[in-house]
Chain A
Amino acid sequence: MAMIDLDKMLEKIKDTQWSLSDVDWDAPGAELITPEQWPKLKAFMADLMWIEHVGARAFAAMAKKAPDDTLRQIYTYFHAEEQRHANAEMALMKRWGMLEDGELPEPNNNLRLVIEWLDRFADDQPIYVLGTVVPMLEIALDGALCKFLLDTVDDPVCHQAFELINGDEARHLGVGFSVMEMQGHGRTYIDLVRMTAQLMDPRLILGIASYFPLLNKMRDNIVEMGLPEEKLYEAMRKFEKIGGRTEDGRRNPWFQIIKHHGRFVVDRKKRFYHAPIDALVKVADLIPRKAFPAVPSWVKEITYQPTA
């Protein structure tokens, strides 16, 4: 994949919009969900939908930090598109009888931590931090998870919705990797040191403390659904392959950091990594609901209703 022309990409994004009302959410096929799939699928969808939603918030932060107007507009669209994915996934949950009228699925505690972090600190992060973490999340959680889902669920409406979603995701990844290369392009040694110096920022450390367990938590979810975790790892290795295909991409120190982290995640033998992170997942589960502050108001914007 060569560097893409962002202006053309923006035009393409504008020309390939869809909305929830393009899908008939009452079409037959819902009955193809087996009773034994149902509870696991419910937990999985709730997490997936929340991941889309926090991804949306990350794009909102990136829009504020975009180096030029085209990228700012692209991220503004991606922010809304991730929200659309969350809305569409909620509409699927509603279709499958997983939501009461007006109900919003509960985010798990790991996600709650991520939401809290994004709300407080995301806007202060330099673009190259989120610009690298987000493609990793997209390729691993979003892109890969959706594929597993389609392997197990036969409902045609689900397939129709995810065809639309995956079309968007392909563009997100195209832009994501292109920007990572741009960030590495022509950087001097001093720039690179400055980019990594960010690691010392306590606000970012908090972010890391919520991002790492999220990956492990999703791995557990996948295993729970009876899917081979190897597939998630395959996707994460793809990040390494695409992100590192050019000199510029490899020079981006944040690519290097996330890549190495990815290698830890996919290797269960790295006990010194997984033991404490798994512990964090468990600890997060123990945090009482009341300990969290009220959810930020952007969280309440999601809806399964195609019209308002």
Chain B
Amino acid sequence: MGILTLENVSYVYSPSTPFEKEALHDVNIDFTEGKITGIIGHTGSGKSTVAQLLNGLLKPASGKVLLDGCDIFDPSVKLSDVRFRVGLVFQYPEYQLFEETVFRDIAFGPTNMGLDEAEIKRRVIESARFAGLDEELLGRSPFELSGGQKRRAAIAGVMAMEPEVIVLDEPAAGLDPRGRDEILSGIRRYRDEKGNTVILISHSMEDMALYSDELVVMSRGTVLVSGTVDEVFRQSALIEESGLTLPQITRVFDRLRADGVNIRDGVYTVEDGYREMLSLLKGNTNA
């Protein structure tokens, strides 16, 4: 069993009112320690709801959320501890900034944890680096930053707590391609250096193929498929049914293969495709 597990979890918004809405139905997910797990799904499929269940902001209507095998809603477990162990970066987190300087804002989480000043400083600087935030920006007011810089500051604010599991809800939504890459690769560097578990929520199959180890595909409040990237992408029929599409490069290669070109399947990133294409062309000229 992984570090964080959802067991038969269902969730209902505004229960017993005219606005009742079942957002999740019997969801089972097992997050492996030290891996980057991507959660992907169409708009409204319940990704953000899952994110908020993972650190106890929402309480499941039925089922359990297990952290290291312990039910987080067990009376003996302190929810504030859970929040320090499972960090959550919300979708569009820019609005949560409030301090006088970026430094102090990033330090808000670690300060709540009761760390000493030197440790806080170390963490702030380190997480700003992971999030791709220039050190000179730390002295500025968070409200003077650009949208993308605010996003990075907010991400750094959660990373600085060094949670065992960090959940990022669409960390790259609405950014330019370069900004996306910088943030996502920063997140991966964070995982590589710290060895912490990362849960990444996204719409983009391309990003997921590039940055995650395992994938969970959600559709209409249930888990459609889960497994390693390879295992999941092989179920292309299921994925397209859920309203998502495989990465463009994969579709190009599938089509080429259907047309009788001799290339392997399982190409999910442009990088991969480029190499495959190159060896194919070389092979052709050699022949």
- Do A and B belong to a common assembly? no
